[in-house]
Amino acid sequence: MATAVIDADRSAEAVGVSHGPKEKLPKLMLGAIGVVYGDIGTSPLYTMKESFLGPHPMAVDPLHIFGVLSLIFWSLMFIVTIKYVFVAMRADNRGEGGSFALLSLICHNLAGKKWTATLVVLGVLATCLFYGDAMITPAISVLSAVEGLTIVEAGLQPLVIPISIVILIALFLVQSRGTAKVGVLFGPVVLVYLASLAALGVTNIMAHPAIIGALSPHWAVEFFVSNPKLAFLAMGSVFLAVTGAETLYADMAHFGRKAIGFSWLGLVYPCLMLNYLGQGALLLGNAHAATNPFYLMAPESVRLPLVLIATAATIIASQAVISGAFSVTHQAIQLGFLPRLRTEHTSEKALGQIYIPLVNWGLMIMVMLLVVGFRESGRLASAYGIAVTGTMLITTVMLAFLVFQVWRWNRLLATATIGLFFLVDGTYFASNITKIPDGGWFPLVVAGVSFTVLTTWARGRQLMRARLAESALPLAVFIKSAAASVHRVRGTSVFLSTSADVVPAALLHNLKHNQVLHQRVLILNVKVETVPHVPEENRIDVRDAGHGFYQAILHYGFMEEVDIPRGLSRIKTCGEPFNMMSTSFFLGRQKLIPSKKVPGMSLWRERLFAWMLKSSESAMEFFKLPTNRVVELGSQLQI
């Protein structure tokens, strides 16, 4: 399975190119505020409420208020500021961030090491945990915002679920139109939302200015000393303040490290903490406000506008995680962990804006089930966190390999830094495990199913290629024995192959049935590299094999879209230019027959792989081949 990620044979310097943002810093910061911080920015809607009234309720007294706020402040400091802004975002793979980008970066630099396969498994697991997060985030965010209506008018409680469902369905319905037009509003809307957070916070802090003392770490220590068990359990709810931190790293390519870092330190972090401190100040004066401290901070006259602003912010947060699911799925397809899925580009200018219908409708169904099944943001909060902490812990493991093996930091500095990350992430992960019976099982089930699917596809492809290689004939041998004796016809034929050095099964089948070869025969291999993007000058490798045969490799980054006709149009060393109207593309389609052949997979996994192969998008559509120039030749294969 590891070969799906680490099979690139050229250096990153040779094929990689940075596709970083080109706009000015203020514009990038505004964009980052709108897209990157939507998730973590909506955490104040439910974090304090869940900390006091969640699965492990505690007294709303000064010790616990100051202790919780201290934990929130220092968690944001260690996890978001130090881990992600100062360390993880330096680990960019040609400008790209996220689990797969980090995994590819490490595997490329340390290819061949015995533990590389283990890292690949961890990277895939992080992706699977993200899918669980992508389902819960829209449900809990929108629900928590709409629940503010019950603060405005208690009689509106029966409308919370229907309104939330309508908003979410509308959100998924507009995905096919793309976010380019709506995206320009994201930054200003979240900016207004953050300003509202800060204003509400400052207003309440003025009533109890002593709450600022909660920023001291001694309150967190005192909280643990007074009741270690309760403090440990409370961390499962406190962690809700940090959810969304992974987005900083994952969206780095869109806005750049500087824009994300500056907007966090200069605006988002201060606004969030002012609001949390304001909620704490409110609770000091009114313990009953713990039922919904976010909305009760505001005067009655502005609560309804606040509900509307918060709902808009949660829609943006949901949009960001849905777009992230599309992006992660696209990377998984390119790296060989998922079958080909229909992918639509929703913007002519932004390559990363894509829409995958299967992922969109699958997410919508699961989000609807979550809203109807859990019915309250408080109950959903118990399911939230374990997927995020798991992903963060895996990121820390991969960062450990990076700083020790690739960057080769000073041993003392590396040990102290990674040790701190493990301590914080490990403690939060352990605390969130206690929420499994209350709903934490859901993201684990989603991750387990996703992991089974991704690993089954990767292993199945590996076995299928091995079976095909067993009967493969070297191209050089075939040319010497058959090329001169076969009747040649005008035109060009392109045969797709997993290797440009062997004869594709489709070529042998064509020769067997039609007994002719075209004047020009191109054996084409498409290779996805371990870098996000490949520059055009390094896109194509072509070699003349003689007797009208050519071998070609088209190189793509794992963030790019494969377009074979466009790639062929750039070839200048194969005789006359490629004319699609005189070029025939031959594709092999294997019908898999599950068997107990060893080595292989369990019979049920082989059947799952066979079904996935049959259901995948056709190679003709995926590779953008002209529909009237494609010939498919089928065969049966046991794995």
Query: pLDDT tens digits, residue range 508-532?
Result: 888 888 888 999 999 999 998 877 7
266: buried, middle or exposed (CB in 10 Å: 19+, 13-18, 0-12)?
A: exposed
Contact 496, 619 (CB under 8 A): yes
What does the block give as tokens for 167?
């908003």
pLDDT, averaged across the chain: 86
Q: CA distances (Å), 408 to each of 30, 160, 404, 415, 444, in order? A: 35, 53, 5, 11, 34
Stretch 1-19: mean pLDDT, rounded? Answer: 41
Residue-wise pLDDT for 121-131, tens only, equals 888 898 899 89
Cα radius of gyration (the chain): 27
Among 430, 427, 432, smallest CA distance to 54 is for 432
Q: In this structure, is the dihedral angle defined by the CA atoms of residues 281, 283, 284 and 285, taken in order, positive or negative?
A: positive
The secondary structure of the chain in percent helix, strand, coil, rounded to multiples of 5, reads: 65, 10, 25
Residue-wise pLDDT for 351-367, tens only, equals 556 789 999 999 999 99
Chain centroid to Cα 473, Å, comes to: 39
Stretch 404-430: mean pLDDT, rounded? Answer: 92
pLDDT in the model for residue 8: 36
Strand partners, 344: 355
pLDDT in the model for residue 111: 67
pLDDT in the model for residue 571: 87
Q: Bigger pLDDT: 224 or 620? A: 224
What is the fold, at CATH topology level, of the domain defined by 25-384? Amino acid/polyamine transporter I (1.20.1740)
Residue-wise pLDDT for 426-439, tens only, equals 999 999 998 888 88
Q: Which residues contact 184 (CB under 8 A, 6 or more apart)?
A: none
Is the pLDDT at 23 greater than 80? The verdict is no
Weakest-pLDDT range from 29-33, 107-111, 270-274? 107-111
Among 483, 495, 531, smallest CA distance to 619 is for 495
Residue 608's pLDDT band (cuts 50, 70, 90): very high
Q: How far apart are alpha carbons 203 and 190 in whole angstroms?
A: 20
Residue 603's pLDDT band (cuts 50, 70, 90): confident
What does the block give as tokens for 391?
């992903």
- Which alpha helices (DSSP H) does 471-586 contain, by range? 475-482, 505-514, 564-568
Is the pLDDT at 384 greater than 90? The verdict is no
What does the block give as tokens for 549?
């045969």
Residue found under tokens 């972090």: 269
Stretch 548-573: mean pLDDT, rounded? Answer: 88
pLDDT in the model for residue 223: 96
Peptide bond into 599 cis (omega under 30): yes
Among 510, 441, 511, 518, smallest CA distance to 481 is for 511
Contact 503, 531 (CB under 8 A): no
Q: How far apart are alpha carbons 81 and 597 in whole angstroms?
A: 52
pLDDT in the model for residue 6: 37
Is the pLDDT at 67 greater than 90? The verdict is yes
Q: Bigger pLDDT: 597 or 179? A: 597
What does the block give as tokens for 112?
């061949």
Chain centroid to Cα 561, Å, comes to: 17
Residue 348's pLDDT band (cuts 50, 70, 90): low
Would you give the end-to-end CA distance of the chain in angstroms?
15
Contact 556, 527 (CB under 8 A): yes
Strand partners, 354: 345
Is the pLDDT at 14 greater than 60? The verdict is no
**Which amino acid is it at 130?**
F
Is the pLDDT at 347 greater than 70? The verdict is no
Stretch 210-221: mean pLDDT, rounded? Answer: 96
- pLDDT over 90 for what percent of the chain? 44
DSSP β-ladder status, 583-593 and 487-496: parallel
Q: How far apart are alpha carbons 107 and 558 in whole angstroms?
A: 14
pLDDT in the model for residue 454: 94
Is the pLDDT at 286 greater than 80? The verdict is yes
- Give backbone dihedrals phi and psi of 126, rounded to 5 degrees, phi first: -60, -40
What does the block give as tokens for 104?
């590819």
Q: What is the 3-state secondary structure (H, E, C) of 536-562?
A: HHHCEEEEEEECCEEEEEEEECCCCCC
**Which amino acid is it at 343?**
T
Weakest-pLDDT range from 22-26, 255-259, 370-374? 22-26
22: buried, middle or exposed (CB in 10 Å: 19+, 13-18, 0-12)?
A: exposed
Residues in the chain: 639
pTM of structure: 0.83
Q: Bigger pLDDT: 494 or 176? A: 494
pLDDT in the model for residue 69: 97
Strand partners, 89: none
The residues spanned by each domain of the chain are 25-384, 473-638
Contact 522, 553 (CB under 8 A): no
Q: How far apart are alpha carbons 606 and 590 in whole angstroms?
A: 14
pLDDT in the model for residue 208: 94
Q: Which residues contact 374 (CB under 8 A, 6 or more apart)?
A: 139, 380, 383, 439
Q: How far apart are alpha carbons 508 and 494 in whole angstroms?
A: 13
The 8 Å CB, 24+ separation contacts for 448-454 are 448/128, 450/127, 450/128, 450/131, 450/132, 451/124, 451/125, 451/128, 452/605, 452/608, 453/338, 453/608, 453/612, 454/124, 454/127, 454/128, 454/332, 454/337, 454/338
Residue found under tokens 């790296």: 335
Q: Which residues contact 510 (CB under 8 A, 6 or more apart)?
A: 493, 586, 631, 633
- Which alpha helices (DSSP H) does 515-622 contain, by range? 564-568, 603-615, 619-622
pLDDT in the model for residue 22: 61
228: buried, middle or exposed (CB in 10 Å: 19+, 13-18, 0-12)?
A: exposed
Q: Bigger pLDDT: 35 or 164? A: 164
The SS3 call for residue 610 is helix
Residue found under tokens 């359990």: 233
Q: How far apart are alpha carbons 101 and 104 in whole angstroms?
A: 5
Q: Which residues contact 71 (CB under 8 A, 6 or more apart)?
A: 220, 223, 234, 235, 238
- Considering 109-113, 193-197, 458-462, the range whose residues carry the highest mean pLDDT is 193-197
Is the pLDDT at 410 greater than 80? The verdict is yes
Half-sphere exposure of 480 toward its Cβ, with a 13 Å CA cutoff? 5
pLDDT in the model for residue 15: 41
Is the pLDDT at 2 greater than 50? The verdict is no
